[in-house]
Amino acid sequence: MNDPATECVETLSAAETIDFGRALAKRLSAGDCVALIGDLGAGKTVLARGIAKGLGLEDERLVSSPTYVLVHEYDAPVTIYHIDLYRMGAPDEELSDLGLDEMLAGGVVLIEWADRVRNMLPADRWEIRIELTGPEKRRVTLRRVR
């Protein structure tokens, strides 16, 4: 890839995807938005689990897809807000109602299915596209958008 702000890695297992998330977390701080993009089952929640662990969440097993509750809040040294837009009927309106700005003011926000609200995301954000390349393999493309 020619864009210096883009990184691409291949993970060979869920454990490697979690490890990638842990490493990425070292680059995050309160106010960061992470847009997670990928097909159903691509590994967005697995990657979120790794990021949460890297941000200091003691038990990453607490991280699950917030599909039915829309947002999970995890108590870590930096508060983590985990949003899932998959089931939202009007994601633009519903994301606005969730208080994204307030979440960003005090924590790191992870948004699954972020491509559904790209126009509402902060201009300065991390975008991560996860693609299935095999039964356990994933191509993870990380891009810093400013």
Is 102 within the bounds of a domain? yes
In a domain, 1, yes or no: no
CATH of the domain at 127: 3.40.50.300
Average predicted confidence (pLDDT) for the chain? 90
Which domain range does residue 139 map to? 6-145
User: Residue 11: which residues within 8 A CB-CB, separation 6 or more?
Assistant: 17, 19, 20, 43, 137, 138, 140
* Domain total in the chain: 1
Kindly state whether residue 90 falls inside one of the protein's structural domains: yes
pLDDT class for 5, splitting at 50, 70, 90? confident
Express as a percent the part of the chain with pLDDT over 70: 94
CB atoms within 10 A of CB 64: 14
| Residues 41-92: tens digit of each pLDDT | 999 999 999 999 999 998 877 887 766 678 899 999 999 999 988 877 776 7
Q: Judge whether 43 lies within some domain.
A: yes
Cα 58 from chain centre:
18
Percent of the chain exceeding pLDDT 90 equals 69
